[in-house]
A and B are shown apart, each in its own frame.
Chain A
Amino acid sequence: MKSLPAAWQAGALSAVKNIIMKTELDLNTLLYWYEQMWTIRYFEDNAIGSFRKGLFTGSTHPCIGQEAIAVGAGAALRETDQVLATYRGHGHAIAKKLDVKRLMAELLCKETGCSGGRGGSMHLCDVSKGFWGTNAVVAAHIPIAGGVALSNKLKKNGRVTAVFFGDGSTCEGAFFETLNMAVLWKVPLVLVCENNGFAISVPTHMAIPIENIAQRAQGFGLPGVTVDGNDPVPVYNAVSEAADRARRGEGPTLVECKTTRWERHSAISAGKYENEEEAMKWKKVDPIPRFTKALLEKGATEFQLKELQERAKKVNDEAMEFALKSEYPKPETVGDFVFA
């Protein structure tokens, strides 16, 4: 990827400028977002730490460096709206207010986990919160989200479905097919692409020959906008606008959030492409210090911020303790949940 902001400053950002200007967010709201960003960051730190300690096997895909998207978009949605995400969806689960204890317990495959300890890091779910789960087959959840959104339309319940996915997902047929159907049937769907510059080892430019993924929307007849995904405010504004549009019955919107991936694809994958410089790029554009600075400028105090950060850590410490203390599912329950 080209040097970060410059890559999309030119055209696409100006397209959303008017949206950004529209909303004045009060400091308390922003402080809550700040706390959420830290909650996600600490959760992911614990996830990586636990994996490295061997507390669970498989893998885990941190959204470190991408927290602003989960938080900004999450804030733009209502409690009754639905969210679907990928294996890199721990942040979305937290933004949708899933119980952090049960999330960590799920990572450790404990019976108290949000998916009964059967799903693990890639299959988090809490239907009671409108979180219809994270999926491990790239892009497969995008048409499913389309179906959930269609059900909202048929039931006239005023709900909106938001679906989160990576840049790589936008190369899959399931993505393109969903765009067509969602526009055709005007379903209340918000498609949020987190363009983090990589699909495992493949840099975005080697897979996608256009500058902005939002441009993909054009040929399908839906609005596409590109925003700075390392700042929750523009993400919030774009997703709010898209959700309003969906609620008005005008159909789906594609929101591309430019961001930078954490140092590698998952806690295990490593390879030649992961040179030190590339791997540490996310730190230079880390949304948390950036948001901290913005909040201080807006009048927040150092003390306030520290307190919120500590609270986020405490929530995660407690979650870790809860997860460690919880039991594994009993072997005789292995066949539960296959059929209704």
Chain B
Amino acid sequence: MAEAINEAIRHEMRRDPNIILLGQDIGAYGGTFGVYKGLLDEFGPERVRDGPLCEAATAGFGVGLAISGMPTLVEIEFMDFMTLASDAMCNQAAKMRYFFGGQVRVPMIIRTPIVNRLGLGAQHSQSLEAWLMHVPGLRVIIPSNAFDAKGLMIAAIRDGNPTVFIEHVRLYPNKAPVEEADEPIPLGKLRVSREGKDATIATYSGMVKPCLDAAANLAREGIECEVLDLRTLAPLDCEGICASVRKTGRLVVAHESVKTAGAGAEIAQTAMEGAFDYLQAPILRVASKDLPIPTGKLQDVVFPSAVDVEEAVRKVME
């Protein structure tokens, strides 16, 4: 996925010479997780601007460049540090076009990875996508594989609106065949990763793989799950979710962020509003425990697993 995102950015930077990259460690180092490899060599230090460690100002500069017609990608090294960039993103970028009566565009993307289950502890392991979904004016994109990441990154750049592009450290090695054609993937359209008639599992990012594993296991028991990879959380594909629930009558939502006020609550309520008459069982959520994330083996207690997803599906099947 790192490679696919790199290709997407490279492709768009070749197409549009105004695109600027800002962040720390994005130059010779190639990004903390290698997403920027080779970009400095190809585009030079004017466009690939490595520099000081200052997320608030970096994101603020990003807004300034963006409104001046220079689409900007800002790197936040770990999603946990979104807190430092959040004023620029949530109070400025997300609202500026609106409060200036449509006079400006804010083509700014923050790229940031979820870096969990590595044992880095409470300030380096969080999934904060629900915070961002709560801000009108932001796009929240969260792919689960290399192919989608490439198409969605291209789409996000061309869309030209304030976007948080959430990657996942565990998915970076993912090298799903990326087609030659650099086709954008429409924002707000989920992917049906596995078709099934008995229960729907709605998920995204790092939980897609465990959910597919769970679905494969459940199939051996004769339970056919439909796995939805949401891909974008804002806009959310409400129609896609409801269509699947109308078909299966059952829904489990799974994510790695904490349960309370997580994306799962929004997704579940979307199904309630759009497919209530079809539901045959209460909707269940599989998520992390509502706790800060410890280091060491203790972290395994906090995060959800494929087994948790299987159990939830069996429960809605009862």
Contacts and interface: CB of A to CB of B under 8 A. Distances in A.
A158 interface: no
Interface in A95-137: 108-110, 117-123, 135-137
A109 B297 contact: yes
B28 A272 contact: yes
B269 interface: no
Interface stretch (B46-54, B152-160, B240-248, B305-313): B46-54
A331 B80 CA distance: 24
B124 A201 contact: no
Contact of A57 (B53, B119, B122, B302): B119
B173 interface: no
B53 A118 contact: no
B25 A56 contact: no
Contacts of B28: 201, 271-273
Contacts of B296: 56-57, 108-110, 117-118, 120, 328-329
B25 A202 contact: yes
Contact of A201 (B29, B56, B57): B29
B150 to A, nearest CB: 24
B289 A120 contact: no
Contacts of B80: 137
Interface in B96-146: 118-124
Contacts of A331: 298, 301
B65 to A, nearest CB: 19
Contacts of B118: 57-58
A333 B291 CA distance: 12
A325 to B, nearest CB: 16
A334 B53 contact: no
Nearest to A108: B296
Interface in B262-305: 289, 291-292, 294-298, 301-302
B53 A199 contact: yes
A272 B27 CA distance: 10
A110 B124 CA distance: 19
A137 B296 CA distance: 19
A58 B119 contact: yes
Contact of B297 (A272, A328, A338): A328
Interface in B218-256: none
B175 to A, nearest CB: 21
Contact of B25 (A110, A119, A200, A208): A200
Interface size class of A (residues with CB under 8 A): 35 or more
A207 interface: yes
Contacts of A169: 53
B53 A58 contact: no
A201 B30 CA distance: 9
B34 to A, nearest CB: 9
Interface in B165-190: none
B295 A206 contact: no
B24 A173 contact: no
A120 B291 contact: no
A206 B289 contact: no
Contacts of A219: none
A118 B25 contact: no
A80 B298 CA distance: 33
A136 B124 CA distance: 8
Contact of B81 (A119, A137, A173, A328): A137
A11 interface: no
Given A117-B298, A202-B51, A338-B292, A59 B24 contact: no
A172 interface: yes
Contacts of A109: 119, 294-298
Contacts of A272: 28-30
A168 interface: yes
A207 B53 contact: yes
B193 interface: no
Contacts of B121: 58, 118-120, 122-123, 136
A335 interface: yes
Interface in A311-340: 328-329, 331, 333-335, 338
Contact of A172 (B25, B53, B124): B53
Interface of A: 56-59, 108-110, 117-123, 135-139, 168-169, 171-173, 199-202, 206-208, 269, 271-273, 328-329, 331, 333-335, 338
29 contacts: A109-B295, A118-B294, A118-B298, A119-B121, A120-B295, A120-B296, A122-B121, A122-B123, A123-B295, A137-B84, A137-B123, A168-B52, A200-B29, A200-B32, A201-B29, A201-B50, A202-B25, A202-B29, A202-B51, A202-B52, A202-B53, A206-B51, A207-B51, A207-B53, A271-B30, A329-B294, A331-B301, A334-B289, A338-B291
Given A200-B32, A328-B297, A328-B298, 5 more contacts: A117-B294, A119-B121, A122-B123, A135-B123, A331-B301
